[in-house]
């Protein structure tokens, strides 16, 4: 499957400090007419894989549009001269733009990825279950199944019917974090899968707010696990 992506990066006259959530809030507030930017239709939340995602990568704001989300970003990417993140306002003096057609889907090779932002993998039920598991082997297997489920869920939302078995492995470390004043568990590290994911797309929960962004590493294998 081919995904059409539009990646926007923003530069200011000074370092930009803020969160992906604040970046999302800026675009959602300024361009309320585009549901793709904020996933709300009137007062109802749209449950689907976000076609516009917001990231802060090395203090650089990044917005990625996928398919119809890319078309929206094409229309509005330059319709502002400043952005407000929290209490700070930044003049925008540089816009980086990348338009690509990118492969997405199952592969004959194993691809290696790293999480460039924390992966929010577990809902509250799985959060509790994770803590009941004994030892690294059980926890690693549990995380592996969650990872496969995340990839399948992302694929379904984008209309991609996975034609084979997804095989993967993960080398991640967990830590406690907070999201909207709720205690959550996030993971950092690497994973391997026979699946192609374009750089900086997110997997898991709250990807529109910057969680779970992945980047492919140069390593890959010709054989399947």
pLDDT value for 175: 83
pLDDT value for 61: 97
- 15 vs 7, 23, 116, CA distance in Å? 20, 14, 19
Q: What angle do CA 183, 184, 185 make, to 5 degrees?
A: 135
pLDDT value for 46: 53
Here the CATH number for the domain that contains residue 188 is 3.30.70.1900
Same domain, 205 and 178: yes
Same domain, 12 and 73: yes
Same domain, 11 and 88: yes
pLDDT value for 224: 47
Same domain, 132 and 212: yes
Write the burial class of residue 15 (CB in 10 Å: 0-12 exposed, 13-18 middle, 19+ buried): exposed
pLDDT value for 204: 93
Same domain, 41 and 91: yes
Same domain, 204 and 111: yes
Residue 41: which residues within 8 A CB-CB, separation 6 or more?
Answer: 35
pLDDT value for 159: 93
Closest to 185 measured CA to CA, from 175, 195, 194: 175
Same domain, 90 and 110: no
186 with 118: CB under 8 angstroms? Answer: yes
Last residue of a domain, one of 49, 74, 101: 101
Here the CATH number for the domain that contains residue 80 is 3.30.70
Q: Could you tell me the residue range of the domain that residue 75 belongs to?
A: 2-101
Same domain, 62 and 8: yes
pLDDT value for 225: 52
Ranges under pLDDT 70 in the chain: 39-47, 179, 219-225
The span from the CA of 222 to the CA of 206, in Å, is: 32
What tokens were used for 3?
């995904």
Q: Is 32 left (phi over 0), alpha (psi -120 to 50) or beta?
A: alpha
Last residue of a domain, one of 77, 101, 125: 101
Indicate yes or no: pTM above 0.75. yes
Per residue in 34-72, pLDDT tens? 988 876 554 555 567 899 999 999 889 999 999 999 999
Residue 119: which residues within 8 A CB-CB, separation 6 or more?
Answer: 172, 186, 187, 188, 203, 204, 211, 212
* CA 107 centroid distance within chain: 20
146 with 125: CB under 8 angstroms? Answer: no
Same domain, 135 and 88: no
Same domain, 13 and 54: yes
The total of other beta-carbon atoms located within 10 Å of residue 97's CB is: 12
Domain count, the chain: 2
Last residue of a domain, one of 84, 101, 118: 101
Same domain, 81 and 112: no
Same domain, 41 and 89: yes
């Amino acid at each position: 499957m081919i995904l059409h992506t539009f990646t926007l990066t923003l530069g200011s006259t000074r370092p930009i400090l803020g969160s992906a959530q604040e970046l999302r809030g800026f675009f959602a507030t300024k361009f309320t007419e585009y549901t793709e930017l904020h996933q709300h239709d009137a007062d109802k939340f749209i449950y689907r894989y976000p076609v516009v995602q917001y990231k802060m990568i090395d203090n650089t704001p990044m917005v990625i549009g996928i398919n119809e989300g890319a078309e929206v970003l094409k229309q509005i990417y330059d319709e502002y001269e400043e952005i407000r993140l929290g209490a700070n306002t930044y003049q925008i003096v540089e816009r980086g733009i990348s338009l690509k057609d990118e492969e997405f889907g199952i592969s004959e090779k194993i691809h290696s990825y790293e999480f460039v932002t924390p992966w929010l993998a577990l809902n509250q039920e799985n959060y509790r279950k994770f803590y009941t598991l004994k030892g690294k082997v059980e926890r690693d297997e549990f995380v592996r199944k969650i990872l496969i489920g995340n990839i399948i869920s992302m694929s379904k939302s984008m209309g991609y019917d996975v034609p084979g078995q997804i095989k993967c492995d993960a080398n991640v470390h967990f830590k406690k974090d907070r999201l909207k004043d709720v205690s959550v568990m996030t993971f950092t590290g690497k994973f391997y899968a026979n699946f192609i994911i374009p750089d900086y797309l997110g997997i898991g929960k709250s990807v529109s707010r910057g969680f779970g962004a992945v980047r492919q590493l140069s390593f890959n294998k010709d054989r399947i696990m």
